[in-house]
């Protein structure tokens, strides 16, 4: 059995020595061969140098360096392109995903699960705002897409090589990995794990990043935001028709009334707002079409051993 481990690394210089040691300890308990694909996602610190200096200690370590920061999703995509294993595990390199869990995942895999995702038992490390926000995201996502995104499942997963091949077939540039991995289907199972606090360094996800990720995910997997405007249009024009009939009749019966400035302004402003919002949503999708059509590579490799 050949096992591939994908490690996306961004500003992880201090974490990597500990991480690789912990990972190696676990890999030693697994029969067969292994490879570790460490992908330096254009880190501004000395992550790449640290990886290179660790290379002699870990014969099965492959280091890939991106030409700039392309994001975690791109790093994972690159890892999946390169991985040769019968099973592929993706985990964060900041020690928040304990490598021991890989053993449990492999058990599940041997029992026939083609995808095993690790569910976080606790989200205590996150603030309440982030938790509320996460809950909201999953709810919206499940409501407006056909995908049943497993809640609490991050990118810490084991994939069978068939699943990897399927994901590699998906051509989109916009890599919302959680969505893509759910979209391809396959028999899935899960294991639980306790996410550790980040030992050092800063989480590189700001609220803005997460918000963008959510918008990305939603627009990549649903056209409901586009279609909902037709519904609004029908509702508003029905309302307008009723109001029009009322105006005509009341004018005929009671004569010309004093023109209503307030209702006129409300109507104009409300409709203006609705039109701008719907235009914005359409623009969002056109932007995405533009990005896909440009057909640029998802990542660019600068250094590869």
Distances (CA, A) of 172 to 65, 112, 175, 283: 22, 29, 7, 19
- CA quadruple 197, 200, 201, 207: dihedral, nearest 10: 10
Q: Which of residues 200-239 bind ligand UDP (CB under 6 A)?
A: 203-205
Identity of the residue, 47 or 96, whose beta carbon is nearer to Mg ion in the bound complex: 96
User: Taking the complex as a whole, how short is the minimal distance between the CB of residue 36 and ligand UDP, in angstroms?
Assistant: 13
- Determine, following the binding rule CB under 6 A, whether residue 188 of this chain makes contact with ligand UDP: no
Binding mask 86-115 for Mg ion (x = CB under 5 A): ------x-x-x-------------------
Which pairs count as long-range contacts for 268-275, CB under 8 Å and 24+ apart, including other chains?
A: 271/236, 274/232, 274/236
Query: How far is Cα 173 from Cα 295, in angstroms, rounded to an integer?
Result: 7
Identity of the residue, 92 or 113, whose beta carbon is nearer to Mg ion in the bound complex: 92
Q: Which of 187, 165, 163, 183 is nearest to 175 (CA)?
A: 183
Identity of the residue, 68 or 84, whose beta carbon is nearer to ligand UDP in the bound complex: 68
> Please, which residues bridge with residue 33 across strands?
2
205 binds, among ligand UDP, Mg ion, none (CB under 5 to 8 A by kind): ligand UDP
- Determine, following the binding rule CB under 6 A, whether residue 9 of this chain makes contact with ligand UDP: yes
- Determine, following the binding rule CB under 6 A, whether residue 89 of this chain makes contact with ligand UDP: no
Q: Which of 39, 18, 115 is nearest to 82 (CA)?
A: 39
Residues near ligand UDP (CB under 6 A) are 8-10, 12, 41, 69, 71-72, 75, 92-94, 96, 203-205
């Amino acid at each position: 059995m050949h096992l591939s481990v994908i490690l996306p690394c961004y500003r992880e210089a201090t974490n990597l020595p500990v991480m690789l040691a912990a990972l190696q300890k676990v890999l030693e308990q697994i029969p067969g061969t292994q490879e570790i694909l460490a992908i330096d996602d254009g880190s501004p610190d000395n992550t790449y140098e640290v990886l290179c200096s660790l290379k002699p200690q870990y014969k099965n370590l492959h280091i890939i360096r991106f030409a700039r920061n392309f994001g975690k999703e791109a790093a994972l995509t690159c890892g999946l392109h390169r991985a040769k294993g019968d099973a592929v595990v993706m985990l964060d390199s900041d020690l928040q995903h304990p490598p021991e869990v890989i053993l449990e995942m492999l058990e599940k895999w041997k029992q026939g699960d083609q995808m095993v995702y690790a569910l976080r038992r606790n989200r205590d490390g996150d603030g309440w705002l982030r938790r509320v926000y996460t809950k909201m995201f999953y709810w919206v996502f499940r409501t407006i897409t056909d995908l049943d995104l497993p809640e609490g499942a991050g990118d810490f997963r084991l994939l069978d090589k068939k699943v990897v091949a399927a994901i590699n077939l998906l051509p989109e540039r916009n890599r919302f990995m959680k969505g893509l991995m759910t979209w391809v289907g396959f028999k899935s199972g899960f294991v639980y794990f306790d996410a550790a606090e980040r030992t050092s360094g800063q989480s590189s996800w700001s609220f803005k990043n997460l918000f963008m990720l959510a918008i990305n995910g939603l627009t990549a997997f649903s056209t409901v935001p586009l279609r909902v405007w037709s519904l609004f249009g029908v509702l508003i024009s029905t309302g307008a028709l009723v109001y029009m009939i009322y105006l005509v009749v009341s004018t005929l019966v009671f004569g010309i009334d004093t023109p209503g400035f307030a209702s006129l302004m409300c109507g104009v402003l409300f409709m203006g707002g609705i039109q701008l919002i719907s235009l914005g949503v359409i623009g969002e999708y056109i932007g995405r079409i533009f990005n896909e059509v440009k057909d640029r590579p998802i990542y660019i490799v600068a250094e590869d051993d």
